[in-house]
Chain A
Amino acid sequence: MAGSFLPAPPAHEPPAPARMSVAAKISTAASGRLVATALSWCVALFLIAPIVVAAAGAFSSSEFYGHRSEGSAPPGSLGLFWYVFSVWGRSLGTSAALVAVVVPFALLIGAPAAYAFRRRPFSGSKLLEAASMTPLSMPGIALAVSLLATLGGAPRFTLLAGGHLAYTIPLVIRAVGNALESFEPDIEPAARSLGAGPWQVARWITIPVLLPSLVVSALLVFTVSWGEFNASFLLASPLAQSFPAALYVTYTANSFPVAAAATILFLLPVVPALVLIQAIGGEPFRRGLQA
């Protein structure tokens, strides 16, 4: 018999799901999805609850926590914010100036390089691309220590900007590079063959197509530079201190409501930036962060 040449049938029957009714199958799948979604919301709760508690603290009365060591804001008012402004206004200004320098430089350095890596590869471009990603896995304090050892004589603001550039340029290269990968490579040669010069191609094709990814990179660089602490704390001097470094001082020296008010001031520009990033181009943003 032909059947004897076939392998013996498996000892076990195929598992139970095969015999389950269609309705039961659908309901298991649906409840599984429901549980997964609920678990995801739990993770979100773990991440958000501390921010809500801290934010509520900024509007509470500091007398509740003992002496009013600073300011005398009536509870529920914005007084604590003015107090933080008056004490830490300088470092807020430093952080704002830092961001104003780092964002354009990171874009001007990173975006052309990303374009070259994808469209004009040359010998050694792969190596350079890998080398530009290395800072992402470099401990901030190690970079800060070595920057101080070599360029310690430079103005501290310059050092801070340099450290921030090391950590933000790779983000630009990734976001712009990913956008270039998903954009038809033949369009630019087509425009060239129709007589457009290199500047016209850049002006009318490349830059408009890359605009969303450039905006997302700018916002990403902004949030990272605004929040960078690991390298900045050691690089900062009393006169050039970024706001996260000042945050550390409020956390150790001020009462909880003041620290909470400073935290909210820190978050104030970050939240709209992240919302914009999600709205404009969630995908390049998430892929930009990918290792």
Chain B
Amino acid sequence: MRSEAAAVRKEAPHGGGRSLREPDATPARAAEEATGWSGALLCLPLALTLALVVYWPLSHLFSTLFTRAGSEALWQVLSAGRYRTSLLNSLLLSVAAAALSLLLSLIPAWVLARERFRGQGLLRGLISLPLTFSGVLVGFLAVVMLGRAGAVPSLLRFLTGRELLAGSAYTLGGLFTAYLYFEVPRAVMTLEPSFRRIPGELDAAARSLGAVPLSRFGRVFLPIAAPALRATFALAFSASLGSFGVALMLARRFTVAPLEVYTQLTGFSNDSVAGALCLVLAASSFLADRLLSGGRA
């Protein structure tokens, strides 16, 4: 008898008031026994959807590695000039853009999280607006601003009488700026809630002990914020690694990996190379996420 009651209490997810219940409350008891099953049942649609649209396709992509054509393509992608260049371009550009956007986002995220001022909601709204812009739209905006007849070159011509930055949207610098454009909103919106959770007393305590701002930043802020900063870096990195629309609009004299996938697939129907490039992209994104966010879901 006692052991049964104990078992019931153990099964109950929130032990609290359970022991007060009358012993003849059978429907509730039945529901309790079904707890494990009901949770699994609620997740069934999710599991089926994930299996169908994510894991089956991805495991198929992975399985091509073990075919002859697939492994040859992977070797080709990792060794040959053009494909490897596109991968390296993507990786370097994504690391650089993620790092700079993280740096640019620190102050806005801090201001939004810790300060109170008029127009704060507007500021947050303006910064979050480009959050869901598709890549082509960001590419178009880059052309509008930095294209051959873009707003910035026109303004500079008006001010200085010289041709400056005209067509810079189509250079590596233009692509980099466009990456920053869609990463900064992401980074700010990710950092803000984490910054809000940092207790302010720690900084005040460090200040009262005479720490200068630089050492408060290095010894108090950075260690506490490090997990959020790493996770944000991983998010920005994989967002730019997978960004295809921006490159489709802007990349002219160089190539990045997602664009190369598209070119190989539609231009040369070179499925195995496209698959191998996708595999490397997916693996890099996945690794960055695991290593930097520590598998935090």
Give the interface centre of B52, B130, B132, B249 by most chain A CB atoms within 10 Å. B132
Contacts of B192 in A (CB 8 A): 286
Q: Which residues of A contact B278 (CB under 8 A)?
A: 139, 141-142, 145-146
Interface of B is mostly: helix
Q: Which residues of B contact A251 (CB under 8 A)?
A: 136, 139-140, 143, 249
* Residue pair A119, B144 in contact (C-beta under 8 Å): no
- A145: chain B residues within 8 A (beta carbon): 61, 261, 265, 274-275, 278
Report whether B55 and A131 are in contact in the complex, using a CB–CB cutoff of 8 Å: yes
Q: How far does the alpha carbon of A233 sit from the alpha carbon of B265 in the complex, in Å?
A: 13
Residues of A within 8 A of B37 (CB): 122
Q: Is the CB of B45 within 8 A of A291?
A: no
Q: Pick the contact of A43 from B184, B235, B288 — CB < 8 Å?
A: B184
Known: A33-B115, A230-B244. A290 touches B194 (CB 8 A): yes
Q: Which chain A residues lie closer than 8 Å to B186 at the CB level?
A: 289
Bits for B10-24, please: 1 = Cβ < 8 Å to A, else 0. Answer: 001110111011000
- Number of inter-chain CB pairs below 8 Å: 314
Residues of chain A within 8 A (CB-CB) of B188 are: 43
Closest beta carbon of chain A to B153's beta carbon, Å: 12
A54 touches B210 (CB 8 A): no
| Residues in B whose Cβ lies below 8 Å from that of A266 | 137
Determine if A99 is an interface residue (Cβ-Cβ < 8 Å): no
- Given the known interface contacts A50-B142, A189-B17, A290-B193, the answer about A134 and B39 at a Cβ–Cβ threshold of 8 Å is no
Report whether A115 and B238 are in contact in the complex, using a CB–CB cutoff of 8 Å: no
Interface of chain A, main secondary structure:
helix
> Which parts of A237-291 form the interface with B (CB within 8 Å)?
244, 247-248, 251, 256, 259-260, 263, 266, 270-271, 274-275, 278, 282-283, 286-287, 289-291
The answer to whether B134 and A229 have CB atoms under 8 Å apart is: yes
Selected contact of B104 from candidates A43, A134, A223, A282, CB within 8 Å: A43
Decide if A128 touches B46 in the complex (CB within 8 Å).
yes
Interface residue count on the B side (C-beta < 8 Å): 109
Interface-forming stretch among A10-18, A83-91, A209-217?
A10-18
**Chain B interface (Cβ < 8 Å from any Cβ of A):** 12-14, 16-18, 20-21, 27-28, 31, 35-40, 42-43, 45-47, 49-50, 52-58, 60-61, 104-105, 107-108, 110-112, 115, 117, 121, 123-137, 139-145, 151, 181, 184-186, 188-190, 192-194, 210, 212, 231-232, 234-235, 238, 241-245, 248-249, 258, 261-262, 265, 271, 274-275, 278-279, 281-282, 285-286, 288-289, 293, 295-297
18 contacts between A and B (CB under 8 A): A41-B123, A43-B188, A47-B126, A50-B145, A116-B39, A130-B297, A140-B258, A141-B278, A145-B61, A146-B60, A146-B61, A149-B271, A228-B134, A233-B248, A244-B136, A247-B134, A290-B231, A291-B231
Name A residues whose Cβ lies closer than 8 Å to a Cβ of B.
Answer: 14-15, 17-18, 33, 36-37, 39-41, 43-44, 46-51, 53-54, 57, 108-110, 112-113, 115-117, 119-123, 125-126, 128-143, 145-147, 149-151, 162-163, 165-166, 169, 173, 185-186, 189-190, 192-193, 197-198, 223-224, 226-230, 233-234, 244, 247-248, 251, 256, 259-260, 263, 266, 270-271, 274-275, 278, 282-283, 286-287, 289-291
